[in-house]
Amino acid sequence: MSGDTKEEPPPLEPAMLLEAKEFLRGVPGNGASVYDHLTKVLVRLIAERPSDANALFEEVSASVREATIAEAARVPTDAQLVRASYTRFCSGQD
């Protein structure tokens, strides 16, 4: 085999595909799964249809990641909601 050709990986069995999808859907500490991130990136590339989507993939990915982080910062956490409710309750504003 020459150095210019890459060997294709074997096809995945349906059970392996489900396992891979669940792995990608796992949510790390930052609240965004790889699956959701890739979905947003692909939707944006399809909607915008840039002439060289492959060259812009990382740029679009970074932009989507920044938007996701900014959105998460605007949404209050459960702890923040509980603290605000407790403060209102203790001050008699409820």
pLDDT of the residue at 31? 67
| List of residues 6+ apart from 7 with CB closer than 8 A | 1
Nearest-angstrom CA–CA distance, 67 and 53:
19
Nearest-angstrom CA–CA distance, 70 and 31:
12
Nearest-angstrom CA–CA distance, 60 and 44:
8
Tens place of pLDDT for every residue, the chain, 94 residues?
455 677 888 887 889 988 988 888 887 766 678 999 999 999 999 999 999 999 999 999 999 999 888 877 776 767 767 777 777 778 776 5
pLDDT of the residue at 4? 60
Nearest-angstrom CA–CA distance, 19 and 84:
40
Structure tokens at 48: 């915008």
**What is the 3-state secondary structure of 8-68?**
CCCCCCHHHHHHHHHHHHCCCCCCCCHHHHHHHHHHHHHHHCCCCHHHHHHHHHHHHHHHH
